[in-house]
Structure 1
Amino acid sequence: MRNLYILLCVLAISLVSGQTSINFEKSDFSTILEKAEKENKLVFLDAFASWCGPCILMEKNVFTDPEVYTYYNQHFINARIDMEKGEGRELAKKYGVNTYPSYLFLNGKGEVVLRGYGYLKEEQFVRLGQDALIQVGGIELKKRFMEGEEDPEFLKQAFGIFIKSDPLFAKQIAERYFSKFTLKELDKLEVAMLLNSVKSATDSNYAKFISLKQNLLEHIPAEALDKLQRQYQINGAIDSALNLETGKWDKDLFLENTKELLTTKQAKELWQEVGLNFFGLTKNFKEYEALALEVMEEERLLEPQLTTQILYTFAENIENKESFRAALDYGIKVHSGHSTPELSYLIAKLYHKLGNRKLALKYATESVALTKEKGADATIPEKLLKEITQ
């Protein structure tokens, strides 16, 4: 019944307004910003390119959906600008637009409130607009928090606003809440706040988690809570072994701290995966290369995402051709069981660096095809394909 009511409301609005799509302004961008400032609304900017397939599909299938255009016409000043023509070129530079379609939600001063990317279904696209408005509402809350606000109801409200849009900030809110108040019982929102404020046994609220564990059992099954505590302890062992300032990762300390939590095999595999992420983050590519070669030599069947990370890091930061060949051999094994456009692209790039034009061409062509099958922007693999054929 509720869905029927919404449909009738949307139909009534569209009949009255005569709209069949999002109403995009025809003015120049500065005039659009002035209008947004005057009406106290956000600008929704559809940053597109004429050759972009998903952009065309959004215009055809999503912008014409009654629920979509009713929501966007009511809440935003809408603009649709080709980023490769006219003032679009300068806007692309200003806002760092290099993926199409990109969706920018801007205030009247031209400041970005929220971004979105790619082809989105109707309900996803409406949710993106809702998130932009929530983000605006959160600006004042964030200001009050930064000024030291400690009112418990305010902190609960702010947590509810930011838990989806900015989970790291929501963690800060929850940490303040539990540092200021002594609780014997927790409601559902407080359970969510506590669990969100603890990521590892080294977090300030871990002791609070332990002290309130009996109360948490009223909301969470004992088995799930024990698994959560174990994960906090594992994360704590990782945190204790990492030093971002020095770029050091103490393997022996990590293995010692996890011997009661993980099997020897589990601890080694986790050490390898965390180590790869850590050495990549700290740009210690010598250690990264050595660890990645160790992982590949053991022929661990890594998931495509981690294999893609290894191949990307090798293609961008490693110069040793023997290491290239090892990465290629491993990448092809993973690719044979689970091909992705990203893996195809990186295999092509590595072959290109090794001077194997035939195989580089094969995988670059495959990457372009797989990318287009997904309805995604194929500019990057097409650029590599062009480089190979020149």
Structure 2
Amino acid sequence: MRKIVFTFLIVLFVTTNNTQAQGINFEHISLDEALAKAASEDKLVFVDFYTVWCAPCKVMSKKIFPLPEVGEAYNKNFISIKLDAEKKGALAAKKYNVSSYPTLAFINSSGKLVYKDTGSQSAESFINLGKKAIASLSSEFSLEKLQQEFPNKQNDEHFLKIYVEKMIEYGQSPIHGIEAWLTVQTEIKEDDVDMMEYLMKHNNYLLLNSKAEQILKANFDEYMDIATRAEERELKTFHLKFIKNTRDFAIKTKDAELMRSFIDTWKQLPNRYRRGNPTEYELIYLAILEDYDGYKKLAQEYISGIINAKPIAQIQKEDAEYFETFQKNYKTNYSINREQTMEKLKSHGKIAGENIETITKIGHTYLKLTKKKKDYKVLESWIEYGYELVPNSFYINDLKADMLYKKGKTKQAIALKKIAVEKWIDSKTRPSKAYELEKMQKGETL
């Protein structure tokens, strides 16, 4: 009997120690279930938004989350879950504006975001992050309270300054707050060095046709006189930053007016500063406008232009020559994605690969708008050209699989999607394609 009791005590001691020494207890439940549990236990939900290809996510999972001190801090204060932002957590990621990984989000039981940060962190900073999330609940400047008060405090200079600082701290966009503060502030003279430094500090949040751009244009010469050489270089390219910010923010928020402003300004840039394709930007604009007939018409014209630009034989000849040159210089090519580039060139070629990626990118959006037979015929003609250009292209297989699935040909779609996923090269997008396959197999809407 003593032996049994002694053995039991040893097991209990080991189990207790293991429990105390564990890291974060990530529960295998949905976000809705986590929110319900958080409500019953009066806790916040901590969500690790990750992707399978994200290196910093793996660092956090292997080196930070398992630490005992991290587990002790998080397990008593949070209901913790992990969500793959490209698979089952895609909808939640979209809801909470997750665009970089890992995103470390703290959500109250009502489903409202109270705190957020991104990137790999040390154990100390991660534990402090949890403390900040808890402290924010009782703060008069909690994220929820700030967002509620912002519309009614557009003329409150003091509030707006705090709002901007806190939105950045909470990992939210301060763009509207900066615009409001710059419009009403009396703290800094617009031609002063402090204003120049403020604009530079917040350069990632400044848009075209904004108060910030107005200030910069009106005081550009004064700023150049007081700027250091490094600041002079930044000031000379500041306009490009406004343009890029406007493009990114317009696409993220689906703001047609901002997108139009970006396109019109971008077209006036010297060729050396242009990045992207004007027609593809116009297509994005039409999609934001929900002008679907306009989108389909322009898409047809654009893809027809690509198809008719060069004969397939000429493209294949030029791609073979390019691949031969790339192979010769392979060892001295220090591109980060050198091996992946090599695989793409080998399977698709340079020009052919670019053509097919453009066709499939636009084709997927076109498919979503496709309802009539004539639209399917257009899409089928693009797919046929793609197979002629690169037989068995996994990009084209993927597009055709989605089309077959929409037409109700599920078995054929799943078989083709499997082939596409197996051959998919891009490690960043492969998980999302694998998830689409899972949804097909379950009969769910893509």
Shorter-chain TM range is: 0.5 to 0.7
Structure 1: distance between partners of 2:288 and 2:158? 38
Partner residue of 1:178 out of 175, 182, 195: 182
Alignment of 1:1-390 (within 5 A): 18-23=20-25, 30=36, 32-36=38-42, 41-44=43-46, 61=62, 63-66=65-68, 68-73=70-75, 76-78=77-79, 105-107=106-108, 109-113=109-113, 126=126, 137-148=142-153, 154-163=159-168, 165=170, 168=173, 170-179=174-183, 180-181=185-186, 182-183=189-190, 184-186=192-194, 190-192=198-200, 195-196=203-204, 198-200=206-208, 202-214=209-221, 216-217=223-224, 218=227, 221-229=231-239, 232=242, 244=256, 254=264, 260-263=268-271, 270-299=277-306, 308-318=360-370, 319=372, 320-329=375-384, 345-350=398-403, 361-367=415-421, 370=424, 376=431, 378-384=434-440
Structure 2: distance between partners of 1:128 and 1:304? 47
Structure 1: distance between partners of 2:388 and 2:122? 38
Shift of 1:197: 5.3
Alignment RMSD = 5.8
**Secondary structure at the residue paired with 1:261?**
coil
Structure 2: distance between partners of 1:150 and 1:249? 28
Are the structure 2 counterparts of residues 311 and 127 from structure 1 closer, same or farther at C-alpha, using a change threshold of 3 Å? farther
Q: Is the 8 A contact 1:175 1:205 kept in 2?
A: yes
User: Given residue 225 of structure 1, which amino acid in structure 2 is its aligned partner?
Assistant: L
Q: Deviations 1:158-198 (Å, cap 9, x if unpaired)?
A: 32321375654x12221222222233222686124663553
Shift of 1:327: 3.4
Q: Is the 8 A contact 1:159 1:193 kept in 2?
A: no
Are the structure 2 counterparts of residues 149 and 284 from structure 1 closer, same or farther at C-alpha, using a change threshold of 3 Å? closer
Identity of aligned residues (%): 16
Structure 1: distance between partners of 2:75 and 2:279? 50
Normalising by structure 2, we get a TM-score of 0.53
Q: Is the 8 A contact 1:234 1:261 kept in 2?
A: no
Structure 2: distance between partners of 1:315 and 1:15? 56
Are the structure 2 counterparts of residues 232 and 192 from structure 1 closer, same or farther at C-alpha, using a change threshold of 3 Å? closer
User: Given residue 113 of structure 2, which amino acid in structure 1 is its aligned partner?
Assistant: V
Q: Is the 8 A contact 1:138 1:161 kept in 2?
A: yes
| Contiguous gaps of at least 5 residues in structure 1 | 1-13, 83-91
